[in-house]
Amino acid sequence: MEIALIGIGKIALDQHVPAIAASPDWELAATVSRAGTVEGTPAFTDFDELLVTRPDIRVISLCLPPVPRFDYASKALAAGRHVMLEKPPGATLAECHALTELAKQNGVSLYATWHSREADKVADAKAWLASRVLRSLTVTWKEDVRRWHPGQDWIFEAGGLGVFDPGINALSIVTEILREEIHVRDATLVFPENRQAPIAAEVAFHHPQAQVQATLDFRQEGEQTWSIEAVTDTGTLLLTHGGARMFIDGVEQGASQDGLSGEYPRLYAKMAALVQRGGLDMDLRPMTHVADAFLLGRRETTAPFHF
């Protein structure tokens, strides 16, 4: 199937383009970007022009920041195109619900992707936890925004999510592996005094019998930390490296995977299957937790942040 990639920035070039190139399901037929291009691929700077001149491209993958994404997604859906959304699927929950209804009205597929759910050991962690009683779950998600989002000021603007841009990856894993539903009960959000989105956060969740909490920080230097520890009645599970490695009571399970290995290829395989069978995949639970953290969170101010 032919697909168009919209927004040719770091994540598109690092992950989407290689995943599409390696896939037996997809051919990258066009790109839309103000500046970025992919060698050998027809490049547009205007999305409306793409929709009008390339009706043969039936699938659109959106890699734009969350705030402008709704306008592009709604145009694509209204034009009868299937749409794949980079995380988070929108700037607000209301936008995501509106896109869902628009996809239904036009009989096309819509996929809210959560790439961290496709990390190598997430499915194994879910299976291991399924038969155990959770006592506590602790998320520690600390990374260097300068390394992963160099110069991307949008991430600290209103709607950019700040530290929840990576933090939502952790929440996508937690909502996938836990048997029980959770919801935010308390949060503290740390805002640089010159920014509109938090650079760090502490979030506590309600769970039927366990203590569940998350520590998120965009100021981590040196080694990056993306871990989830689950203490149960019969042992302790630890996911590290964003879900790529898993330990049970300190013993690593299976071969380790590096970084985002396999995550985006699995997303594109799922999108191909979704388009072929029809339907929607719009799990908004991770985004609901972020929205609730903003609603409930106490605001603290810290020193200005500059890239």
Banded pLDDT at 233 (limits 50, 70, 90): very high
So what's the pLDDT on residue 20?
97
Q: Which residue has the tokens 């509109």?
A: 196
Q: How far apart are CA 304 and CA 6, in angstroms?
A: 32
Range 138-157 average pLDDT: 96
Q: Which residue has the tokens 């042992």?
A: 235
Q: Is the pLDDT of residue 299 over 70?
A: yes
Please write the tens of the pLDDT for every residue from 151-204.
Answer: 999 999 999 999 999 999 999 999 999 999 999 999 999 999 999 999 999 999
Banded pLDDT at 259 (limits 50, 70, 90): low
Residue 152 contacts residue 165 (beta carbons within 8 Å): no
Q: Where do the structural domains in the chain lie, given as residue ranges? A: 2-112, 117-255+291-302
Range 276-299 average pLDDT: 97
- Mean pLDDT of the residues in the chain: 96
Strand, helix or coil at 142? Answer: strand
| Known catalytic residue at 104 | no
Please write the tens of the pLDDT for every residue from 101-116.
Answer: 999 999 999 999 999 9
Query: Given this chain, do its domains 2-112 and 117-255+291-302 carry the same CATH topology?
Result: no
Strands 183-192 and 298-302: parallel
Residue 76 contacts residue 53 (beta carbons within 8 Å): no
- Whole-model pTM? 0.95
Q: At what angle do helices 93-106 and 66-78 cross, to 10 degrees?
A: 10
The two tokens of residue 253 are 């399970």
CB under 8 Å, gap of 24 or more: what pairs does 48-53 form?
A: 48/75, 50/4, 51/75, 51/76, 51/79, 51/81
Q: How far apart are CA 135 and CA 306, in angstroms?
A: 40
So what's the pLDDT on residue 255?
85
Kindly report the number of other CB atoms within 10 A of residue 24's CB atom.
6
pLDDT above 70 as % of the chain: 99
Range 212-223 average pLDDT: 97
Using alpha carbons, select from 177, 297, 146 the residue that is nearest to residue 239. 177
Strand, helix or coil at 86? Answer: coil
More confident residue, 260 or 31: 31
Range 135-153 average pLDDT: 96
Using alpha carbons, select from 141, 286, 144 the residue that is nearest to residue 218. 144
Q: Is the pLDDT of residue 306 over 90?
A: yes
Q: Is the pLDDT of residue 290 over 70?
A: yes
Using alpha carbons, select from 293, 289, 290, 97 the residue that is nearest to residue 182. 289
Kindly report the number of other CB atoms within 10 A of residue 178's CB atom.
20
So what's the pLDDT on residue 258?
67
3-state DSSP percent of the chain in helix, strand and coil, to 5? 35, 30, 35
Please write the tens of the pLDDT for every residue from 21-40.
Answer: 999 999 999 999 998 999 99
CATH level 2 (architecture), domain 2-112: 3-Layer(aba) Sandwich (3.40)
Q: Is the pLDDT of residue 225 over 80?
A: yes
Q: Domain 117-255+291-302 class?
A: alpha beta
Banded pLDDT at 260 (limits 50, 70, 90): low
Q: Is the pLDDT of residue 232 over 90?
A: yes
Q: At what angle do helices 122-129 and 164-177 cross, to 10 degrees?
A: 40
Catalytic residue, chosen from 10, 87, 104, 142, is 87
Beta strands in the chain (DSSP E): 2-6, 27-32, 43-44, 59-62, 82-85, 110-112, 134-142, 183-192, 200-206, 211-217, 225-232, 235-240, 245-248, 251-252, 280-281, 298-302
Please write the tens of the pLDDT for every residue from 58-111.
Answer: 999 999 999 999 999 999 999 999 999 999 999 999 999 999 999 999 999 999
So what's the pLDDT on residue 209?
96
So what's the pLDDT on residue 256?
75
**300 phi, psi to nearest 5 deg:** -120, 150
Residue 286 contacts residue 176 (beta carbons within 8 Å): no
